[in-house]
């Protein structure tokens, strides 16, 4: 076993690797950028080395700096985590050339599976079924459009070097092919440095089912059963589970055998995942699945496999990379129970799942598992940490394991309802809605489920009057323990003839709320909400409901929904100009990738004006109303959240 390893990653995966390394007595070296100087993975590691500025191209993608850090600290091996350089064969070559061990597959294996088109040709030769489509080298638009017609619409354009939904477009009609191809190529070029694509048949009711495989350097390869990752939005996974609901013995046998065959075809060593697309239009059948791609690394959703098999996949990675054989044979790996993983992101589901930023002023996960299930939290952040625009906005992975799917899903719902995040917009309410969706609960899931039910899944209930009353009470610091309580404004002080009362103002969205909070002699608080509410009398708020007070705000938690109220500063002057309707502002920090209009152009509502690239994804910014453009951001401009992208000519101006 290694004495010391360097982890060439950040966030929750770096923390995950550190925990297993500690268990095995292996010392760890973390690397970090400017933005991550105080990150949790840096604090947890035995040593940490600064490798550059915040942008990934100047830090976490700088293989030379990572290798230099490993050599300088005496690390023997490099664990890549996932993302960044984890599937870069040139980096693997550089690591081994430096006399270090890469904890993962060989560069040859990564190259064999790294390009989707070449991988599919290889799988065809190995006898693994592949999705009908065009996987050739020629990339002329006329040829690709012709192939799409031959395959038959709808088709899927996919970046051949891609993953995570980047560089991927569904096309339903020939007239839309050119525009979709351009968008896929731009996104692929930005994310992977390769704008080549392949075109495949889009399966009408596709299930995304993948098989965890593991190989060693002695020719052994096993599978650790399947995961279902069909609950996706924008081709990115949301909730994963193991085993796949409705899985039949015949299909499991066929898929796992094909997965092991695929791994052995490239002499694979380490953890890997074979992803299949399954046509579920007539149920799960052994002859209706096809190879999509292989991820030659540890997957984000690997904890669900660990929960149902009892295997520590990171431990296996370290053991195999250090020269040991696989710890178990195929017959020794058993499947037990059911596990779910929900990805908690800083994102706004109601705004097309736009990534969000902000400081996690309040962060609380379930602190105990229910009697009938086990809960596991994988995170790389703490309360007080900031969600950076430079990296993936994942906050945590919430994992539950129970004896069966029904029990596990109930535990997931309860755990989401006990998760509290304040300071950034998060997707916990969306996840809870998905976990209670009738089709999802029944196991009738496919990759289009979220899209079909999206309107209902992203709808947020209005805060109850009790939640609003709790926000008003929290805004007064009434009943707050310790130094948070202001003795001069406390409602619990002495009053001789009448009950002490305090008025406070709140804002929820566009609604202004005026409340009067009074302390009662029996320890309860009475909150009266003025227009547009009716007065609420004698709300029993002796024990403050779940709330979080943070600068200028109060968040009240009702189940998995966090209602955030602004608490206006009475001394602050509102900047009315900033709210003028004549401007269109950036919804997040990013790069103006493409501009489709110019000053003086007359545009109509919904017309695409520019494309903003943020967090490795493209977001189309459209006109909010008809108008004439006065100014528009320059192509290539780096903008911050709230920057004016487009200014419209005001009425009466020339």
Active site residues: 297
Contact between 572 and 384 under an 8 Å Cβ cutoff? The reply is no
Sign of the CA dihedral with 245 first, then 250, 253, and 257 last: negative
CA distance 607 to 598: 13
Supply the angle between the helices 249-265 and 116-126 in degrees, to the nearest 10: 110
The token duo for 323 is 């020269």
CA distance 273 to 296: 7
CA distance 278 to 208: 6
Q: What is the DSSP string of 451-484?
A: HHHHHHHHPPPPPPHHHHHHHHHHHTTTT--GGG
Instruction: Find residue 503's DSSP bridge partners.
Output: 516
Instruction: Find residue 364's DSSP bridge partners.
Output: 420
Task: Looking at 322-464, list the stretches that DSSP marks H as alpha helix, in order from N- to C-terminal side.
Answer: 405-417, 428-436, 438-441, 449-458
- How many residues in the chain? 654
DSSP letter, residue 335: -
Contact between 589 and 641 under an 8 Å Cβ cutoff? The reply is yes
Give the start-end residues of each E strand in 460-550: 501-508, 511-519, 525-529, 547-550
Question: What kind and span of H or E run contains 7?
Answer: strand 4-7
Instruction: Find residue 77's DSSP bridge partners.
Output: 5, 101
CA distances from 30 to 9, 13, 58 (A): 8, 11, 16
CA angle, 193 then 90 then 276, to 5°: 70
Q: Strand 197-201 relative to strand 155-159: parallel, antiparallel, unpaired?
A: antiparallel
Give how far the C-alpha of residue 381 lies from the chain's centroid of Cα atoms, to the nearest Å. 14
Contact between 555 and 563 under an 8 Å Cβ cutoff? The reply is yes
Q: Is 236 helix (H, G, I), strand (E, B) or coil?
A: strand
Q: Which of 428, 220, 419 lies closest to 327 in space, CA to CA?
A: 220
Q: Is 515 helix (H, G, I), strand (E, B) or coil?
A: strand
Instruction: Find residue 594's DSSP bridge partners.
Output: 611
CA distance 357 to 641: 9
User: Residue 229 — left, alpha, or beta (φ > 0 → left; ψ -120 to 50 → alpha)?
Assistant: alpha
Contact residues for 155 (Cβ-Cβ < 8 A; gap 6+): 133, 148, 170, 171, 177, 199, 200, 201, 202
């Amino acid at each position: 076993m290694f004495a010391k390893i360097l982890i060439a990653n950040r966030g929750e995966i770096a923390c995950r690797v550190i925990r297993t390394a500690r268990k095995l007595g292996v010392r760890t070296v973390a690397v970090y950028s400017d933005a991550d100087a105080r990150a949790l993975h840096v604090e947890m590691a035995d040593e940490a080395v600064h490798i550059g500025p915040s942008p990934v191209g100047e830090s976490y993608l700088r293989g030379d700096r990572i290798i230099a850090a490993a050599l300088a600290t005496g690390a023997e091996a490099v664990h890549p985590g996932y993302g960044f350089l984890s599937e870069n064969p040139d980096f693997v070559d550089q690591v081994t050339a430096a006399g270090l061990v890469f904890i993962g597959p060989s560069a040859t294996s990564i190259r064999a599976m790294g390009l989707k088109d070449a991988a599919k040709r290889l799988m065809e030769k190995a006898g693994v079924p592949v999705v009908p489509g065009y996987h050739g080298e020629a990339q002329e638009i006329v040829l690709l459009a012709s192939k799409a017609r031959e395959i038959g619409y709808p088709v899927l354009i996919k970046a051949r070097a891609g993953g995570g939904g980047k560089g991927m477009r569904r096309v339903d009609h020939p007239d839309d092919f050119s525009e979709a191809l351009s968008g896929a190529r731009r996104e692929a070029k930005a994310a992977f440095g390769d704008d080549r694509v392949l075109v495949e048949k889009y399966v009408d009711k596709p299930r995304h089912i993948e098989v965890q495989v593991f190989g060693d350097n002695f020719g052994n390869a096993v599978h650790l059963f399947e995961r279902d990752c069909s609950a996706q939005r924008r081709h990115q996974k949301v909730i994963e589970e193991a085993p796949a609901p409705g899985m039949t013995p015949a299909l499991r046998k066929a898929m796992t055998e094909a997965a092991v065959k695929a791994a052995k075809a490239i002499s694979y060593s380490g953890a890997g995942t074979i992803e299949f697309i399954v046509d579920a239009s007539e149920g799960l059948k052994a002859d209706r699945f096809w190879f999509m791609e292989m991820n030659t690394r540890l997957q984000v959703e690997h904890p669900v496999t660990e929960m149902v098999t009892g295997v520590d996949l990171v431990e296996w990675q370290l053991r195999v990379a250090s020269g040991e054989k696989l710890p178990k044979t195929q017959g020794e790996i058993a499947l037990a129970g059911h596990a779910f993983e929900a990805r908690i992101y800083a994102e706004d589901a109601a705004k097309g799942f736009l990534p969000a930023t902000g400081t996690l002023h309040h962060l609380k996960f379930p602190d105990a598992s229910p009697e009938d299930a086990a809960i596991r939290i994988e995170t790389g952040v703490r309360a007080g940490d900031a969600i950076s625009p430079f990296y993936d906005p994942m906050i945590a992975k919430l994992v539950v394991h129970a004896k069966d799917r029904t029990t596990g899903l109930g535990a997931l719902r309860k755990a989401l309802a006990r998760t509290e995040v304040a300071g950034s917009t998060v997707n916990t309410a969306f996840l809870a809605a998905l976990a209670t969706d009738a089709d999802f609960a029944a196991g009738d899931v496919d990759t289009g489920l979220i899209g079909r039910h999206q309107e209902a899944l992203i709808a947020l209930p209005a805060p109850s009057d009790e939640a609003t009353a709790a926000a008003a009470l929290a805004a007064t610091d009434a009943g707050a323990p310790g130094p948070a309580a202001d003795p001069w404004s406390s409602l619990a002080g002495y009053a001789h003839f009448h009950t002490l009362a305090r008025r406070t103002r709140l804002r929820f969205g566009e609604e202004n709320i005026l409340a009067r909070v009074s302390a009662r002699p029996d320890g309860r608080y009475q909150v009266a909400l003025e227009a547009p509410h009716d007065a609420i009398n004698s709300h029993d708020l002796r024990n403050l409901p779940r709330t979080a007070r943070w600068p200028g705000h109060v968040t009240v938690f009702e189940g998995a929904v966090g209602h955030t109220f602004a608490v206006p500063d009475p001394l602050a002057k509102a900047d009315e100009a900033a709210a003028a309707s004549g401007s269109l502002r950036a919804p997040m920090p990013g790069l103006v990738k493409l501009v489709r209009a110019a000053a003086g152009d007359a545009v109509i509502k919904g017309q695409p004006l520019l494309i903003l690239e943020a967090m490795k994804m493209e977001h189309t910014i459209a006109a909010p109303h008809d108008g004439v453009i006065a100014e528009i951001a320059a192509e290539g401009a780096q903008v911050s959240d709230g920057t004016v992208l487009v200014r419209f000519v005001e009425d009466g101006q020339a």
